[in-house]
Structure 1
Amino acid sequence: MDCNGSFLAETESVAADVGTAPVTIVVCSSCRDENGSDAHPRAGALLAEATRAAARDSGTIEVRTVECLGNCKRRLSAALLRDGCWSYVFGDLTAESGSDLVTGAELFATSQDGLIPWRGRPDSLKRGLVARIPPLAMLKE
Protein backbone atom coordinates (compact mmCIF):
# COMPACT_ATOMS: atom_id res chain seq x y z
CA MET A 1 0.00 0.00 0.00
CA ASP A 2 1.35 3.44 -0.77
CA CYS A 3 1.33 6.34 1.65
CA ASN A 4 -2.00 7.84 0.70
CA GLY A 5 -3.98 4.62 0.91
CA SER A 6 -4.11 3.37 -2.69
CA PHE A 7 -2.32 0.33 -4.01
CA LEU A 8 0.69 0.63 -6.26
CA ALA A 9 1.84 -2.62 -7.81
CA GLU A 10 5.54 -1.72 -7.98
CA THR A 11 5.77 -0.47 -4.41
CA GLU A 12 3.70 -3.35 -3.11
CA SER A 13 5.85 -6.00 -4.80
CA VAL A 14 9.07 -4.51 -3.43
CA ALA A 15 7.54 -4.12 0.03
CA ALA A 16 6.39 -7.74 0.01
CA ASP A 17 9.91 -8.91 -0.85
CA VAL A 18 11.99 -6.81 1.54
CA GLY A 19 9.53 -5.03 3.85
CA THR A 20 10.34 -1.64 2.34
CA ALA A 21 9.26 0.73 -0.42
CA PRO A 22 11.63 2.31 -2.95
CA VAL A 23 13.10 5.70 -2.00
CA THR A 24 15.01 8.07 -4.26
CA ILE A 25 17.63 10.44 -2.88
CA VAL A 26 18.11 13.45 -5.15
CA VAL A 27 21.37 15.32 -4.50
CA CYS A 28 22.09 18.79 -5.83
CA SER A 29 25.38 18.22 -7.65
CA SER A 30 26.08 21.91 -8.26
CA CYS A 31 26.04 22.95 -4.57
CA ARG A 32 29.13 24.75 -3.35
CA ASP A 33 30.80 24.18 -0.01
CA GLU A 34 30.36 26.47 3.01
CA ASN A 35 32.98 28.86 1.58
CA GLY A 36 31.13 29.21 -1.74
CA SER A 37 34.08 27.75 -3.61
CA ASP A 38 33.82 27.23 -7.38
CA ALA A 39 36.29 24.33 -7.15
CA HIS A 40 35.53 21.19 -9.11
CA PRO A 41 34.33 18.69 -8.31
CA ARG A 42 31.74 20.71 -6.46
CA ALA A 43 30.89 19.77 -2.88
CA GLY A 44 27.45 18.65 -4.09
CA ALA A 45 29.05 16.18 -6.50
CA LEU A 46 31.17 14.85 -3.63
CA LEU A 47 28.02 14.47 -1.52
CA ALA A 48 26.37 12.56 -4.37
CA GLU A 49 29.32 10.16 -4.56
CA ALA A 50 29.35 9.66 -0.77
CA THR A 51 25.61 8.96 -0.88
CA ARG A 52 26.00 6.45 -3.72
CA ALA A 53 28.75 4.68 -1.78
CA ALA A 54 26.59 4.53 1.37
CA ALA A 55 23.60 3.21 -0.61
CA ARG A 56 25.60 0.66 -2.61
CA ASP A 57 24.20 -2.42 -0.84
CA SER A 58 20.65 -1.14 -0.54
CA GLY A 59 18.10 -2.78 -2.79
CA THR A 60 15.52 -0.03 -2.35
CA ILE A 61 17.46 3.25 -2.43
CA GLU A 62 18.31 4.98 -5.69
CA VAL A 63 20.62 8.00 -5.78
CA ARG A 64 20.12 10.59 -8.53
CA THR A 65 21.51 14.08 -9.09
CA VAL A 66 20.09 17.34 -10.31
CA GLU A 67 21.90 20.55 -11.26
CA CYS A 68 20.10 22.78 -8.76
CA LEU A 69 17.49 22.36 -6.04
CA GLY A 70 17.26 26.14 -5.60
CA ASN A 71 18.22 25.98 -1.93
CA CYS A 72 21.51 27.86 -2.27
CA LYS A 73 21.26 29.77 1.01
CA ARG A 74 21.26 26.43 2.85
CA ARG A 75 24.27 25.11 0.89
CA LEU A 76 24.50 21.40 0.17
CA SER A 77 21.00 20.10 -0.42
CA ALA A 78 19.20 16.87 -1.13
CA ALA A 79 15.64 15.57 -1.32
CA LEU A 80 14.11 12.24 -0.34
CA LEU A 81 11.23 11.01 -2.50
CA ARG A 82 8.89 8.05 -2.17
CA ASP A 83 6.04 7.46 -4.60
CA GLY A 84 2.72 8.68 -3.22
CA CYS A 85 4.28 9.93 0.04
CA TRP A 86 5.51 13.18 1.48
CA SER A 87 8.77 14.44 -0.05
CA TYR A 88 11.52 16.03 2.03
CA VAL A 89 14.12 18.69 1.20
CA PHE A 90 17.22 19.05 3.39
CA GLY A 91 19.94 21.69 3.45
CA ASP A 92 23.02 22.55 5.49
CA LEU A 93 24.53 19.17 4.62
CA THR A 94 28.24 18.45 4.20
CA ALA A 95 30.09 16.43 1.58
CA GLU A 96 30.24 13.67 4.23
CA SER A 97 26.45 13.55 4.84
CA GLY A 98 25.86 10.66 2.43
CA SER A 99 25.43 8.06 5.17
CA ASP A 100 22.96 10.34 6.98
CA LEU A 101 20.88 10.62 3.80
CA VAL A 102 20.89 6.85 3.40
CA THR A 103 19.89 6.35 7.06
CA GLY A 104 16.99 8.77 6.51
CA ALA A 105 16.02 6.97 3.30
CA GLU A 106 16.04 3.61 5.10
CA LEU A 107 13.72 5.00 7.79
CA PHE A 108 11.51 6.45 5.06
CA ALA A 109 11.45 3.16 3.13
CA THR A 110 10.04 1.27 6.11
CA SER A 111 7.62 3.98 7.23
CA GLN A 112 3.99 2.89 7.25
CA ASP A 113 2.56 6.44 7.29
CA GLY A 114 4.74 7.99 4.58
CA LEU A 115 6.69 10.22 6.98
CA ILE A 116 10.31 9.96 8.03
CA PRO A 117 10.17 9.25 11.76
CA TRP A 118 11.87 11.84 13.97
CA ARG A 119 13.29 9.17 16.26
CA GLY A 120 16.36 7.65 14.68
CA ARG A 121 16.73 10.45 12.13
CA PRO A 122 20.35 11.68 11.98
CA ASP A 123 20.90 15.13 13.52
CA SER A 124 21.81 16.62 10.15
CA LEU A 125 18.33 15.65 8.88
CA LYS A 126 16.67 17.08 11.99
CA ARG A 127 18.51 20.42 11.81
CA GLY A 128 18.59 20.60 8.04
CA LEU A 129 14.91 20.10 7.21
CA VAL A 130 13.92 22.80 4.71
CA ALA A 131 10.51 21.56 3.55
CA ARG A 132 8.11 18.65 3.68
CA ILE A 133 5.93 18.49 0.56
CA PRO A 134 2.66 16.50 0.51
CA PRO A 135 1.80 14.05 -2.24
CA LEU A 136 -0.54 15.48 -4.90
CA ALA A 137 -3.38 13.15 -3.89
CA MET A 138 -3.40 14.75 -0.42
CA LEU A 139 -3.93 18.31 -1.66
CA LYS A 140 -7.33 19.94 -1.14
CA GLU A 141 -9.13 22.07 -3.71
Structure 2
Amino acid sequence: MTVTLHVCITCRAGRTLMEGETAPGARLHSAILEAGVPEGVNVVPVECLSACSQGCSIALSGPRRWSYVYGRLSDASAPDVVAGAAAYAAAPDGIVPWRSRPEIFRKQSLARIPPIAAVPEASE
Protein backbone atom coordinates (compact mmCIF):
# COMPACT_ATOMS: atom_id res chain seq x y z
CA MET A 1 0.00 0.00 0.00
CA THR A 2 1.30 3.43 -0.93
CA VAL A 3 1.92 6.04 1.76
CA THR A 4 2.39 9.76 1.25
CA LEU A 5 5.39 11.84 2.27
CA HIS A 6 4.34 15.51 2.20
CA VAL A 7 7.23 17.97 2.04
CA CYS A 8 6.71 21.67 2.78
CA ILE A 9 8.50 23.33 -0.13
CA THR A 10 7.78 26.92 0.94
CA CYS A 11 9.45 26.60 4.33
CA ARG A 12 12.06 29.27 4.95
CA ALA A 13 13.31 27.68 8.19
CA GLY A 14 12.74 30.95 10.04
CA ARG A 15 14.95 32.98 7.71
CA THR A 16 14.42 35.84 5.32
CA LEU A 17 15.46 34.64 1.89
CA MET A 18 17.64 36.67 -0.44
CA GLU A 19 16.29 37.48 -3.90
CA GLY A 20 16.38 34.31 -6.02
CA GLU A 21 17.40 32.07 -3.10
CA THR A 22 15.77 28.64 -3.04
CA ALA A 23 13.67 28.02 0.03
CA PRO A 24 15.18 25.46 2.45
CA GLY A 25 11.98 23.40 2.14
CA ALA A 26 12.39 23.20 -1.64
CA ARG A 27 16.02 22.14 -1.14
CA LEU A 28 14.85 19.40 1.26
CA HIS A 29 12.31 18.20 -1.31
CA SER A 30 14.99 18.04 -4.03
CA ALA A 31 17.41 16.23 -1.71
CA ILE A 32 14.75 13.62 -0.87
CA LEU A 33 14.12 12.98 -4.56
CA GLU A 34 17.87 12.76 -5.21
CA ALA A 35 18.30 10.31 -2.31
CA GLY A 36 15.83 7.97 -3.99
CA VAL A 37 12.18 7.56 -3.13
CA PRO A 38 11.49 4.16 -1.53
CA GLU A 39 9.01 1.75 -3.04
CA GLY A 40 5.53 2.37 -1.70
CA VAL A 41 6.19 6.05 -0.93
CA ASN A 42 4.64 8.89 -2.91
CA VAL A 43 6.42 12.23 -2.37
CA VAL A 44 4.08 15.21 -2.59
CA PRO A 45 5.29 18.82 -2.36
CA VAL A 46 2.93 21.05 -0.37
CA GLU A 47 2.87 24.80 0.18
CA CYS A 48 2.61 24.80 3.96
CA LEU A 49 2.33 22.37 6.87
CA SER A 50 1.85 25.21 9.40
CA ALA A 51 4.98 24.29 11.32
CA CYS A 52 6.79 27.47 10.31
CA SER A 53 8.50 28.03 13.66
CA GLN A 54 9.91 24.49 13.55
CA GLY A 55 12.12 24.75 10.47
CA CYS A 56 11.59 22.51 7.46
CA SER A 57 8.82 20.00 7.99
CA ILE A 58 7.42 16.84 6.47
CA ALA A 59 4.37 14.69 7.16
CA LEU A 60 3.83 10.97 6.64
CA SER A 61 0.35 9.55 6.20
CA GLY A 62 -1.47 6.58 4.76
CA PRO A 63 -4.80 4.81 4.88
CA ARG A 64 -5.58 3.22 8.27
CA ARG A 65 -2.22 4.40 9.66
CA TRP A 66 -1.03 6.82 12.28
CA SER A 67 0.23 10.03 10.67
CA TYR A 68 3.32 11.94 11.79
CA VAL A 69 4.68 15.47 11.34
CA TYR A 70 8.42 16.03 11.75
CA GLY A 71 10.28 19.34 11.91
CA ARG A 72 13.68 20.96 12.29
CA LEU A 73 14.85 19.27 9.09
CA SER A 74 17.22 20.38 6.33
CA ASP A 75 18.42 18.99 3.01
CA ALA A 76 21.11 17.13 4.99
CA SER A 77 18.26 15.18 6.64
CA ALA A 78 17.16 13.63 3.33
CA PRO A 79 18.81 10.20 3.78
CA ASP A 80 17.18 9.79 7.21
CA VAL A 81 13.82 11.01 5.89
CA VAL A 82 14.00 8.44 3.09
CA ALA A 83 14.95 5.65 5.53
CA GLY A 84 12.16 6.67 7.90
CA ALA A 85 9.61 6.84 5.08
CA ALA A 86 10.60 3.34 3.94
CA ALA A 87 10.17 1.99 7.48
CA TYR A 88 6.81 3.77 7.77
CA ALA A 89 5.64 2.27 4.47
CA ALA A 90 6.62 -1.20 5.70
CA ALA A 91 4.71 -0.86 9.00
CA PRO A 92 1.06 -1.94 8.53
CA ASP A 93 -0.26 0.63 11.00
CA GLY A 94 2.42 3.29 10.49
CA ILE A 95 3.96 2.66 13.90
CA VAL A 96 7.66 1.94 13.44
CA PRO A 97 9.37 0.42 16.51
CA TRP A 98 11.27 3.14 18.38
CA ARG A 99 14.75 1.67 17.87
CA SER A 100 14.08 1.11 14.14
CA ARG A 101 13.41 4.81 13.53
CA PRO A 102 16.12 7.18 12.30
CA GLU A 103 17.21 9.54 15.08
CA ILE A 104 15.41 12.51 13.55
CA PHE A 105 12.16 10.52 13.68
CA ARG A 106 12.75 9.83 17.38
CA LYS A 107 13.68 13.38 18.41
CA GLN A 108 12.03 15.72 15.93
CA SER A 109 8.41 14.59 15.93
CA LEU A 110 5.99 17.52 16.11
CA ALA A 111 2.73 15.59 16.01
CA ARG A 112 1.33 12.08 15.95
CA ILE A 113 -2.20 11.85 14.57
CA PRO A 114 -4.41 8.76 14.97
CA PRO A 115 -5.91 7.05 11.94
CA ILE A 116 -9.26 8.35 10.83
CA ALA A 117 -11.86 5.87 12.02
CA ALA A 118 -14.39 4.60 9.54
CA VAL A 119 -17.53 6.70 9.80
CA PRO A 120 -20.62 4.53 10.19
CA GLU A 121 -23.40 5.13 7.70
CA ALA A 122 -26.17 7.33 9.08
CA SER A 123 -29.28 5.32 9.82
CA GLU A 124 -32.49 6.54 8.29
| TM-score normalised by length of structure 1 | 0.75
Q: Which amino acid in the other structure matches residue 25 of structure 2? A: G
Decide which of 86, 98, 111 is 2:66's aligned counterpart.
Answer: 86
User: What's 1:4 paired with?
Assistant: none
Decide which of 87, 91, 96 is 1:111's aligned counterpart.
Answer: 91
Q: Secondary structure at the match of 1:131?
A: strand
**CA RMSD, aligned part only?**
1.8
Q: Does 1:32 align with 2:32?
A: no
Q: Deviation per CA, 1:7-52, whole angstroms, max 9, x where unpaired?
A: xxxx3xxxxxxxxxx2211110011135x13142100000001111
Say if 2:39 and 2:86, in contact at 8 Å, map to a contact too: no
Decide which of 26, 29, 36 is 1:55's aligned counterpart.
Answer: 36
Q: Deviation per CA, 1:108-135, whole angstroms, max 9, x where unpaired?
A: 1111343122112111121110001011
- Unpaired runs of 5+ residues, structure 1, are 1-10, 12-21
Q: Which amino acid in the other structure matches residue 64 of structure 1? A: V
User: What's 2:122 paired with?
Assistant: none
Q: How many residues align?
A: 117
Q: Deviation per CA, 1:58-99, whole angstroms, max 9, x where unpaired?
A: 321111111110001111100011222011000011121111
Say if 2:13 and 2:53, in contact at 8 Å, map to a contact too: no
- Unpaired runs of 5+ residues, structure 2, are 120-124
Q: Secondary structure at the match of 2:91?
A: coil
